[in-house]
Structure formats: C-alpha cells, structure tokens
Structure 1
Amino acid sequence: MTRIAVGGFLHETNTFAPTKATYDDFVHGGGWPAMAQGAEVLRTMRNINVGLAGFVAQAEANGWEMVPTISCGASPSAHVTRDAFERIVKVMVDGIRAAGPLDAVYLDLHGAMVTEHLDDGEGEVLARVRSAIGNDLPFVVSLDLHANVTPDMVEHADALIAYRTYPHVDMADTGRAAARHLALLLRTGQRFAKAFRQLPFLIPISWQCTDDQPCKSIYRKLAALENDAVPTLSFATGFPAADFRDCGPSVFTYGKTQADADAAADNIAALIESHENDFDGRIFTPDDGVRYAMELATRARKPVIIADTQDNPGAGGDSDTTGMLRALVRNNAARAAIGVIYDPASAKAAHAAGVGATVTLALGGKSGISGDAPYKETFVVQNLSDGQFIAPGPYYGGRDMDMGPSACLRIGDISVVVSSHKAQLADQSMFRYVGIEPTEQAILVNKSSVHFRADFEPIAEQLIICAAPGAMPADTAALPWTRLRPGIRIKPNGPAFIPENKSRSTG
C-alpha cells in the first residue's frame, strides 16, 4: 500500500501587525481547527474546507495509507514566535522520520509565514522535511493564494499548488489537486521541470478577489493552460504585508520539459503584468462609507455591507479597532450591525451584567493602532453566547467555531458583536450566534476584506470597502517598507522600493 506522510502548519504573517502568534494560538486555532497530532489529525480533517481535509478524502479514495504528523493553524498576526515554530516543526519532522518506509510526503502550508528568527518560514519547513526524506521521495505542498513564494520553497518541493479563489472556497479542492498531482508523480516516476517568476509590483488584497476582474479572467486563463505537458500551474497574488525580500505575487509552473514550464510561466506573468492598471478601486473613508451606505439603504431591499478592511483579522489585524463603530454612531445609522470586535474584558463584563443590563465600557481599541482608541460608552446587553457554533458558509465550510464568551451589545440602533477570541467575520453565523439576523439589517460592517463575500454577497444589496485605522492598510504604499527586494513597485504603478542598506540576520 502507498504510504504518505501528511501534516499542516498554516500562518499568514503581517510583520506590521501588533500581536505575535504563540504556541497557544496554534493550539486554539482561531478560525482554523484546533491543533491535532497523530491519528487525531485524520479525525479532524474531514468534510471541512481545508487543504489537508481535501487531500485526506482523495488519498482515501486512492487507497493510500496516511501517516499523520500534526495539523494546526492560527489567525493571521505578526511574527510566529520562535518557540511556536520550533515546537510545531519538530513534531512534524520527527513524525516523518519515525514513519517508517514512505512513498511520498504532503504538507498543507500557507506560504506567507515569517517567524521571529526566520523570514521564510515555509522555506525552512520544506528544507527540514527534504533533509529528513532525502532527494528522491516525492514531496507536494498546497499553498494559500496569498503565499509569498520564495526560491527555497520552489527548490525543496516537487510541486507547490496554490488556491485559485479569493474568497478561498477551494481550499479542500486544492488539497485534492495536490493528491492528483502526487498520484501522477507516483504513477510515472517523473519529476517535472519547474519555472518560477516573481512579479514586479505588490497587489493590495482588496483587489485580489477572484470574483472580480482582473483576477477572474486571469485564473480562467490559468486553468485553460493546464494540459499533459503542463499538469499544474499557479498564480499566488501574495500577502503584501510581510517586510522581507520575497514578499509579493508570483507564478510557478511544472512541465514535462523546461521549455514547457517556462512558456506557461511567461505567458501567465505577462498576462498579470498587462493588468497592472486594473488592480485598484475605490475605498471610502469611514464617514463617507457609512453615509453612502445609509443613502443606499433608503431604497435597498437587502443589507448594504461594508468591509472594515484595515482591521481584518484575516490579514493580521486584532479585530478590535473602533473607527467604523464610531462612524456608525456619529452618523446615526439605523438597523446596523458590526462584528466581530475582539475584547475579552468587555465580553466578560457583559456576561457579568446579564441580558438587559446597561454597561459602561472602554470597548476595543486595545491593540495600539495609530489613530484608534477604546470607545468609551454605555451599551445595552442585548444577548449573550458561549461562542460555540458551526460556521456552515462556503469559506469556513462547516468548521466548529469557538469565539469564547461573547455578547451582542446595543448602542442606539446599532448592534455590536463582541468576542473573546478573534476570527475573520466571513460567515453569517458570526452575527447569528449572538442573536443578530444579518438579513434583517440595513447595514452590516464586517471586519474582513474579501473572504466575507462568499457568504454575504448573495444577501447584499451592495458591497463597500472602508479604510478606518487598522494594521493592514488598503494602500500597500502606506506601509513603512524597509526590506523588500530592490525595484519592486510598492503598489500597482507605484514607486519602486529602494533599500537603505539595512539588513536583518536570519537563523
């Protein structure tokens, strides 16, 4: 029987964010399933939208035996601590070494991990695994669409295969695609030639959505180029908040010959570069966005939905800034709801007060973001929750969620979801779990950039992007870059990065 070692370790690192990812964050998972080790990995990774879950299903259909090591993820944040990285990778690599005879290895990684001691987290993971298994064993990896792919990652894996949707509704599908490519490697014994291209400009995440142009047509073309000569190719739009040399979008392809791989990579890279002007769009200030939403709501039949994009916990924000809440209150918005504001102390105070009580709080604003502060006001406790629920929408795909003790607070005609754990508001259940029916609101403010669209676009009158103070600027040129590769444009058609001869040692 074919034996495959499997594991997963996912983190998207915003090096400008306020809070690091600790080992305990990976144990809990945030919006990811809780950490699992050994046989528990295969019990956890079933029927959910995660790359490893898709691989498991396809591997079982192929009749493969899987040797599970560890699976874990944490909400995007600042650097992964050295302690967390080393403990998790040790379990993974030791598990592979102890697995006995293997035919291949598959890992589900993000591709944009930066640690306290390493710029290229995934490159180091892949190097250690390759050292453990030798050069002959096939090694395939699934990646997030936002991966900042590096030369080391390409070198150490036989194939990197990235998601093709944002919102990421194809995470499990990408795991299945990795299993199909691995089956091809095992059946033919062939190693495919690799081509890797790094593109010359950063792409803001708000304009990476694959439901809209230009990404919609780019990914359609990408899929059409796959054939026997080039069985897989990927375009990773990159995560433009990691201050290191290899941050940015890339293309990586695998062909029967080097000429096949190069031609496909050059074709896609040229297509992406031809759309540089299109990776941009309108972003509202908080007050302008709220007033526009209120005007639309006077004639809308469905909610107007505002993305609080700069405090997106899916991009490293702490999900606790108060700029959009202040704008709702300041403009007397009606039938409005905002979530999720991460504030364990306020959630605890609401639970102590009880439903129907009034509580005076310094809500949110605790992550030290410039231009933001706690919102000191009196709220009515509308509803309480233990934070346990299932998120059935297309992004979370039926995951068990644990937001900790949570509350629905009310101020005027505005409802506020407050939680004790943070996760991106990308599922309607994240309003419902505290008693807010999203379809009955005139305005919804979601701390998310794009993932929310998968579940909310069907109920939306219109989508608006607002930029209140937060850890993930919608304009990538606003970030204080110091370590990008020389010459990359820090936004579409923006200025080229020029280093100041500063360096950081990596271990």
Structure 2
Amino acid sequence: MKILVARMNHETNTFSPIATPLKSFGDNGPLYGTEAYVASKGTRTGIAAFIDILEAAGHEVVVACTATANPSGSVCAKAYTHLCDTIVAAAKGCDAVALDLHGAMVAENSDDGEGDLLERVRKALPNAPIAVALDLHGKMTDKIINNSDIVISFKTYPHVDMYETGEHAGRLLVDMINQRIKPTIAWRRLPLILNTLCSRTDIGPMHEAVKLARAAEAKGILGASVLAGFALADIAAPCISVVVVSNNDQAAAEATAQEIADYIWTNREGFIYKNEPLAASIARAKDLAAAPGSGPVLLLDHGDNCMSGGTCDDMNVLHEALKQGLEDIVVGPICDPEAVAQLIAAGLGVTVTLPIGDKVPLTQLDITNPPRLLTGVVSKITDGQYVVSGPTYTGQRIHMGRTVCLDTPQAKVMVTETPQEHWDLGIFSHIGIDAPKHRFILLKSRMYCRPVFVPIAKALVECDGGGVTGADYSRFPYKKLDRPVYPFDSQTTWK
C-alpha cells in the first residue's frame, strides 16, 4: 500500500508572547518529501518509527513533511493552514495514514489544531485507516477521536518513548491493514486541569494511572493512553483524558477507559501542584546548600521554561537569589540577543555593566519587568554549539546562537541568542563551565533537565519566578475555559 506519513508538532502556550511563524518549524522551516524522509529516518521520533514499521511491512511510504517547533504562542494562521494543506495534498492516492502529532496545537485559526487537520484528512480519504501518535501532554477532542482509528500517546515524562509510541501506533496500523484487528476506541475527558509538574510518570498518581494503562495492554487491550492535557492553552478543555483502543470490543474499551478515569478523579488532589512563594524557595535552597552532602543545589525556574513557551529572559529567580546572598551560582541560558551583541562588542576580559533579560513583555499576563543591571567580566564567547550525549535526543547538535559567559561576583551568567532547554551538561561545558563544581545551578527548566542534572545534585528546589509557564494557574486570564473545572471550581463533579 501507499501510506501517508507526516509530523506536525507544536505544544501551544496561548499566553506566551513568542510568535510561531512557519520558519519556527525546523532549523529554517519545515522539510518536505525526500528531505523530510532523510531527516526523519534513524531518529528517536514517532515519524521515524512509522517509516521503519511500514517499510518493514513492505509498504510505500510517502512523507508529506516534518514540522516541529519549540513550544510558544499560538501558531500563525498562514503557517497552520500551509502545513495542513501540505499534508492533505499529499494524501491523494494514499491507502492509509500515520501522523506524528502533538495534541496540544492551537493556531490563530484553530483551537483544535490536530482535530481540524484529521477532519480534513478523513474527508480526503474516507475509507483509509488512520493512526495517530501523540505527546503525553496532548488534549483530546471529539474531532481527534471521530477521525482516527488508532490513537496512542507517550507514556513517559520526561519523554523518552517517542519512537516506541510511533512503533506502537504503526504496528497496530499494519495489523489493521492486514485485517488482523478491528480497532474500537473509547475515551473519557475529565473536568480536571492537571498541573504539568504533576504529570511526571515516575512518581505520584500519574505514574499509577499510566501503570493501569500498561496493565490493560498486558491483558489484551490494543492501546491505553493517559493524556495529561496542556493547561497553558486557553481553550475550552485543556484537560486530562484517557483513550483506549480495543480489538472490536467496545464494552472492554469503555470499561478500561472508565476504570482509569475513575482512578484519576478519585486521586485528583495529587494532580494539583502546591506552589511555593519564590522568596521561600530561595531561602530553602540556601539552607539545603549549607546542609551536609556534596554536589550543587538545583534551582529549577519552571515559571520560565522554554519547552512550555517561556521567554527564557525572566530574571526574577536570579535576582531573588542575589538578594538573599546566594553565591557561586551558574545560571543560563538567558535569552537576550541584544545583551549578547553588547558583550561581544565589549570583548573578552572587559568589565561591563548592562541590563540582561526582562526584555520581552508578558503582555497577556499584564507583566512588564524593567530590565535590571548586572556587572561582570566577559570571560568566554562561543558559537553556542554542542552535541547531546543523552539520554534525550542523543547525538543531536544543538545550536544556541552566539553565547557569552559573564562572570559576576555571585554568578556565572550564560547569555544566548535563542531560548534553550537543558538537554545535556554540554550546555555549560561547551563554554568552559564545569557546572557540577558550583554551589548552585539555576536552570530555566521544568523536567527535561532532570535525567542529566539530578544525578549530579544534592538537592532540587522548584522555583516559580512568575513567568508564562508558572504553576499558579490562577494568574492566567482564561477566557474560553469550560466551567466548572477542577481545581478552579472546588465543587466540580464528574461521573
């Protein structure tokens, strides 16, 4: 058979001030056709698994595009329409479809980015089997369910099973094509906005919910997924969902979906994060640093996390740390192209005083922090490139743009031209910073840093500096949210 394959990934924070034009989807925009195939093949992604599974089964793979952007604000209407048009056009003449999507895409012209795309694909290929691989932080809608035959999401956060999820969905698609299975879907969406910090799958109720999903699959269910949703999207229902795929057994699918959903609702308190005031977090970190043990204390500025749409230039956590007298801090990257240019112009070894960070107004939260001055010596300048050693995106070369280290009396401040996640210690070692040897490491990260940085640290403190990825959702001006919803409405009920 001729099978359409495509990747379209974006986790949309509708409160983020960062625009998402077409060029955001890749190093310089999406890749198409043969280029998309070559770039995807051999990677640890869902689309790579689709290619491997389908080619191994003897099918012809037609790759429409690969388009993935870091989390940011709503996708520009022209970009979204272009990507959907590209995928739908490539569907002509195909017999089946495998899509590597996110599940939390919101565009200027679509609150249900994946559902609206799938509706168009189904209209173009009304009889074709359609399999979808989704991120754990996807939301679920009627359009996604009604226009898909197979829906499978990640089961890990931090995410390390992107390929395995594509492999799972691809394997079921091949079985459906060969008439070995007849997929039937049941789903539940709960009126529960889950905090992203409570969606980690190694501990807590999310771990137990995913454990129930795995147990159902072990007993014969074709696929069971727990999708945390994405609370930083102002849409009707950015809520947690359960999706179950059975083999021609609607009753089994319904019962399994209900069992997992009942567990989630019963344990809903465990999905709500108890946010701590920033000053208290920094004071606690100071005490932990003075306690016995070796290694740095991690300060995770989850309120300005680029992998959820943060600007990476909010300086509240650093300045609170400086105010409370913390010393020997490594911090970065701070995204401030203007400061990078000024520091490079000043030159190595020169002492400078300049404003760093706080350059991007958080307009939807009505926050504008005036830039604050830092004084230090320009100690290093690099091209901002390093290669990830693992475990996430192993072997991928990271391009941060020009990067500068400013040595201040209390902190080594790494400033870059682009926002970055902390995939690897190379983010610091590439510029000559041996992060594990310092007293504090301040990262603009929520979860992806943990596999690398937690093992070298003696303690971790989560800090909310008040940016657009913060955990206090009462600060966010939702306008489209369906109410009642927990925890905003404590008397919310669900059956």
TM range (shorter): over 0.9
Deviations 1:351-384 (A, max 9, x none): 2222222232221112213263322222321211
Equivalent in the alignment of 1:501: none
Provide the rounded CA distance (Å) in 2 between the counterparts of 1:295 and 1:229.
50
Equivalent in the alignment of 1:286: 278
Provide the rounded CA distance (Å) in 2 between the counterparts of 1:470 and 1:286.
12
1:187/1:83 CA distance change after superposition, 3 Å:
same
State the 1:490 CA deviation.
Answer: 4.1
State the 1:28 CA deviation.
Answer: 2.6
Q: Which amino acid aligns with 2:27?
A: H
| Secondary structure at the counterpart of residue 201 of structure 2 | coil
Q: Quick check: 1:316 aligned with 2:309?
A: yes
Equivalent in the alignment of 1:354: 347
Contact 1:241/1:472 (8 A) holds in 2: yes
Equivalent in the alignment of 2:24: 25
| Secondary structure at the counterpart of residue 233 of structure 1 | strand
Provide the rounded CA distance (Å) in 1 between the counterparts of 2:147 and 2:184.
13
Q: Which amino acid aligns with 2:109?
A: H
> Structure 1: any 5+ residue segments left out of the alignment?
498-507
Counterpart of 1:157 (choices 142, 148, 164) is: 148
Aligned residues: 487
Equivalent in the alignment of 2:104: 112
State the 1:21 CA deviation.
Answer: 0.6
Equivalent in the alignment of 1:264: 256
Matched-pair identity in %:
32
State the 1:227 CA deviation.
Answer: 4.6
Provide the rounded CA distance (Å) in 1 between the counterparts of 2:48 and 2:353.
44
Equivalent in the alignment of 1:132: 124
1:61/1:387 CA distance change after superposition, 3 Å:
farther
Q: Quick check: 1:388 aligned with 2:389?
A: no
Q: Which amino acid aligns with 1:318?
A: T
Contact 1:48/1:397 (8 A) holds in 2: no
Provide the rounded CA distance (Å) in 2 between the counterparts of 1:328 and 1:496.
39
Provide the rounded CA distance (Å) in 2 between the counterparts of 1:125 and 1:25.
19
Q: Quick check: 1:373 aligned with 2:366?
A: no
1:48/1:358 CA distance change after superposition, 3 Å:
farther
Provide the rounded CA distance (Å) in 2 between the counterparts of 1:367 and 1:348.
17
Deviations 1:106-157 (A, max 9, x none): 11111111111111111111112112222x2111111111111111011111
Equivalent in the alignment of 1:483: 480
| Secondary structure at the counterpart of residue 98 of structure 2 | strand
Contact 2:226/2:240 (8 A) holds in 1: yes
| Secondary structure at the counterpart of residue 333 of structure 2 | strand
Provide the rounded CA distance (Å) in 2 between the counterparts of 1:277 and 1:88.
39
Provide the rounded CA distance (Å) in 2 between the counterparts of 1:295 and 1:206.
23
Provide the rounded CA distance (Å) in 2 between the counterparts of 1:228 and 1:180.
17
| Secondary structure at the counterpart of residue 353 of structure 2 | strand
1:19/1:269 CA distance change after superposition, 3 Å:
same
Contact 1:321/1:373 (8 A) holds in 2: no
State the 1:396 CA deviation.
Answer: 2.9
Alignment of 1:215-364 (within 5 A): 215-227=206-218, 229-255=220-246, 256-298=248-290, 299-364=292-357
Equivalent in the alignment of 2:79: 84
Equivalent in the alignment of 1:503: none
Provide the rounded CA distance (Å) in 2 between the counterparts of 1:368 and 1:114.
21
> Structure 2: any 5+ residue segments left out of the alignment?
none
Deviations 1:189-247 (A, max 9, x none): 64322111111211111111112212222211210111574200111011001111121
Give the alignment's TM-score, normalised by structure 2. 0.93
| Secondary structure at the counterpart of residue 253 of structure 1 | strand
1:121/1:268 CA distance change after superposition, 3 Å:
same
Counterpart of 1:419 (choices 416, 441, 461) is: 416
Provide the rounded CA distance (Å) in 1 between the counterparts of 2:53 and 2:458.
38
Q: Which amino acid aligns with 2:134?
A: L
Provide the rounded CA distance (Å) in 2 between the counterparts of 1:60 and 1:303.
47
1:337/1:63 CA distance change after superposition, 3 Å:
farther
| Secondary structure at the counterpart of residue 226 of structure 1 | helix
State the 1:281 CA deviation.
Answer: 4.5
Alignment of 1:404-443 (within 5 A): 404-443=401-440
Q: Quick check: 1:197 aligned with 2:188?
A: yes
Q: Which amino acid aligns with 1:235?
A: V
| Secondary structure at the counterpart of residue 444 of structure 1 | strand
Provide the rounded CA distance (Å) in 1 between the counterparts of 2:296 and 2:58.
47
Equivalent in the alignment of 2:62: 67
Contact 2:22/2:30 (8 A) holds in 1: no
Provide the rounded CA distance (Å) in 2 between the counterparts of 1:75 and 1:494.
33
